[in-house]
Structure formats: structure tokens, C-alpha cells
Structure 1
């Protein structure tokens, strides 16, 4: 794929993933523009959100030596932690925009989210009762979110990598534990971090994701105005089409361009909102 086709794939995919996380089925609906917070409809929605978030924060990899899907590029060796997430691809759009002229607002919010994710905090007094350990765990937000997303998604037999991460976190906190004990501690870790710290962070994360979606919307405005044109009317219903850029030749990119323009036409599902600082000051 060329740069324009790749950008279409990135923007459409990001918008679709964010739609799956930040919507009024997942969160209790409100119409507030002043500083607020976001509340999950149920604990099941909270669990689904962190599973989907972990996918968004995972690296898009090639399978068994094949090329990376949809023409996406691989992050460089020694990349920063957030480059091993879908934010890496959005960062490419911000650095080399194709469909629009000004991707600086998109680049700004992607960088803000990346720095927040890469930041570390201390969770004091984490009680892992199953192995008799109480620890002050230092962890990056990105690491604990991916661990919790994996734990929510998989059974213990598929958590070997996260068990190793938990062992290392406990070792750094001054508690050497065996692999077997680390497996026993997984449930306690999940309860402490997902049901407490993640729930606290979830409003801030939703704001970051919603701001990325609105930044994509704003970026695409001039392209939509150029591309959209009415083609007629049937029973009072306006028909329309898009002037697809000539650079877009691949069928999948062509289809995703239409998807992207239709997403713009229907606007983001959730209005712009700001989360109160009280939900941003801890952890």
C-alpha cells in the first residue's frame, strides 16, 4: 500500500476501535460539557472495555513471517513503549499527513496519551492474600492495563507472559516469588488493579480516546468537503458519493475510505467532554 492508502486504513481502524470502547452502551449516558466523569453501565462493560483497550494497546504483528497486515509498518528496534501499540500508526499520520494538511492536533493528543501511558506510578499496599504478600508495586500504566486486559480475556493457562511480568514487578518491590505463587497471585493482582485503579483511570482513558476520535474528525473535515457530492434524490432521500483520491487503488483501502467518510458524515458518537481533575490526580 502507498502512504495514502495506509493512512486510510489507520484512521478508519482507529475510529472503529474507539467506537467499540467509547459509546453510550458502554458508559452511562450524559450530556455534560463541564468537568465530569464517565461511569460504566455494569462491571461486565468495564471488563469488556479493558479487553478492547488491551487490543488497542497491542502491537500489530506479522504472522509466521508474513508481511504485517494491511500494509502497516513495523516500529523500529528500540522503540518507545507506546510505539508497540496502535498509537505508533496514528503517530505516523501525525508526522506525514496525506488526506489533510494539518494533523498537529491529532499528533498532540496521541503524544499526550502516549506519555501518560508510559508514565509510572506506585500502587501502595497491594494485598495479594493468596500468597501472603503485601507490596508497594511500581508499574507503568501501559503495563498494568495490558496485563489486566489479558487476564480479563484469557484463562490461567494462557497467561505465562503476564505471570513473568508479575514476578518481575514483585521482585522489584522486594518480594521474590516462585512462578507457581505468581500464578496464584494473578487473581489478587487483577482485583486490585482492574477493580480499583483501572476504574479510577477509566474516565481519563475515555477522554483520551474520545479526543483522538474528535481529532481524526477535525483532520478529515477538508477532505470530506472536497470529496462529498450529491448524485440525485429518490423519494426525498438524497443520494451521494465520494470523490475517492486517485492514489487509492487497493480495494480494501477504497472500501475503508468510504467507511471513513461515512463515519465523518455521522460524526463521533460521544460529544467532546472533559474529565474532572479529581479523576486525574492519583496513580
Structure 2
């Protein structure tokens, strides 16, 4: 794969992931003006949202035909050296990637009571770690999430509370209740805003390429539109991803751009 083929494969996968998290089947954007927030259809839909989010924050499969890196890092790399930029079209995407990345890296402080191990502790932990813990605990039980228990053990140690691994495993339910039912419920609307911003960033970045590539039907007898591949895209898999990506651009983002209320972005609260 060459650089452009890698980029197309990442962008296709990211766009599909974003649409699986931000869509009308999972959520509704409610409110007006500066007082919007996101409502999930059910608690199961919200849980699926965070399960998919942990995939988005994880690395791609090392057996895939592109380098194995986190999706968000792949997006950052694309913004640094874009293959399809025209007149600054990548700038909105770059801004969206940096904003979400920086937000995820910020540490939150949570005063947590862990009744399973009779422990009161104040934990400082990056938001992206919280999202990964919640996503993994949403889809795995205790014996399939020992890695999560090791993360919990490490951050308890950082807070000055040494526990055995089995204690960290026992505390997983407490962590899930605190992080999922409280912290992640508070941040869900903000995360949806970030993800929707990424979707629109990709749409704007690739709009010139879509305009160049899209070929309308030749006649009433041949009513199929076509896309003209760039010369650099030769590999069959990259071509398939390019076609899928252009089709996603053709339909456009599911939600219009939105900004959620500042009441869900209070500084110092998680």
C-alpha cells in the first residue's frame, strides 16, 4: 500500500465507525440553540455507544493491510500530511482531531467509594483511560477483563492505595458504576459532539476530491453514477475502500453540526 491507499483505508474505516456511534438509531439531539444535549434511545444503546467508542480509541488489527496504530493517531497523521487537501480543506478535520485528542488526554479527578474492597480513594485518571475501562467492562465479564483490573490496580497505586490484583478485579463493578453511570453519562453528549465534528471534518476535507471523482450517469439507459479513482490508488482493497468512502460522502453526515450545552462541559467536573 502507498500513502494515499493507506489514507483511504483509514478514512473509510473511521467514517463507518463514526456513523455506527452517531446515528438516529442510537440517539437524538434535543434542545435548541446553546442548550442541546444527546438522548439515547435506551440504556442498551448508550452501552453500545461506549463499546464502539473503545474500538475507535484502540489500535487497528496488526493483520490489517495498513500499519497498526490507533484510529485517532491515524487521523492525526493524515492531517499532518493530507493526500487530498485543496485550499485548506483539511483544516476543520485537523481542528476536530486535535480538540478530541486533547480532551481525551486531560486527567479527571474522581472521589470514589469502592465498597467491594472497603476503600475510599481520590483517583486522577485520563479521560481516554476511563472510556476504555467502561467500553471493555461493557462487553467483558471479570474473567475476560483482567487487563482492566491491572489498569485499576495501577491507578489505585498512583493514588497511594496498593491493592492485590484480585481486589482490583472485585472493584471492577464499583468502577463501572462510578465511571459509566456517572462520569460517562455526563460526558456522552460532549463525546457525541466531538465525533460528529470529526464526521464533518472528513466531509469537508474530501469534498474537493468527491467533486473531482463523481461522474453522473451517462444516459437514461445507464443510470449508474461512477467514481474516478486517483491514479495512485491501484490495490483492489484500497479501490473498494475508496468507492465506499465516496458513497458515504455522497450521502453526507447523519446529523447536522451541533454544540451541546455548556452545563455538560463544566471545568473541573470530571
| 1:14 alignment partner in structure 2 | 14
| 2:50 alignment partner in structure 1 | 50
The alignment partner of 1:60 has SS state of coil
Conserved? CA contact 1:5–1:253, under 8 Å? yes
Matched, 1:212 2:198: yes
User: How many residues in Structure 1 have an aligned counterpart in Structure 2?
Assistant: 266
| 1:232 alignment partner in structure 2 | 218
Q: Deviation at 1:137?
A: 1.0
Conserved? CA contact 1:228–1:243, under 8 Å? yes
| 1:133 alignment partner in structure 2 | 119
2:169 to 160, 174, 183: 183
Counterparts of 1:64-103 in structure 2, within 5 Å, are: 68-72=63-67, 74=68, 85-101=70-86, 102=88, 103=90
CA–CA separation in structure 1 for the residues paired with 2:116 and 2:44: 24
CA–CA separation in structure 2 for the residues paired with 1:187 and 1:219: 42
Matched, 1:4 2:4: yes
| 1:80 alignment partner in structure 2 | none
Q: Which stretch shows the higher mean deviation, 97-106 or 181-190?
A: 97-106
The alpha-carbon distance between structure 1 residues 230 and 33, as it changes in their structure 2 partners (threshold 3 A), is: farther
Q: Deviation at 1:30?
A: 4.3
| 1:104 alignment partner in structure 2 | 91
| 2:256 alignment partner in structure 1 | 271
Deviations 1:115-138 (A, max 9, x none): 1101101012x1211111121111
Conserved? CA contact 2:107–2:127, under 8 Å? yes
CA–CA separation in structure 2 for the residues paired with 1:270 and 1:32: 14
The alignment partner of 2:185 has SS state of helix
TM-score (norm 2): 0.93
TM-score (norm 1): 0.89
CA–CA separation in structure 2 for the residues paired with 1:116 and 1:233: 50
CA–CA separation in structure 2 for the residues paired with 1:29 and 1:109: 19
CA–CA separation in structure 2 for the residues paired with 1:278 and 1:30: 14
Conserved? CA contact 1:213–1:268, under 8 Å? yes
Conserved? CA contact 1:10–1:89, under 8 Å? yes
Conserved? CA contact 1:121–1:139, under 8 Å? yes
Counterparts of 1:242-257 in structure 2, within 5 Å, are: 242-257=227-242
CA–CA separation in structure 2 for the residues paired with 1:138 and 1:31: 32
Deviations 1:196-221 (A, max 9, x none): 10010111111111000000000111
The alignment partner of 1:39 has SS state of strand
Counterparts of 1:128-167 in structure 2, within 5 Å, are: 128-167=114-153
Q: Deviation at 1:238?
A: 4.3
CA–CA separation in structure 1 for the residues paired with 2:114 and 2:261: 31
CA–CA separation in structure 2 for the residues paired with 1:35 and 1:3: 42
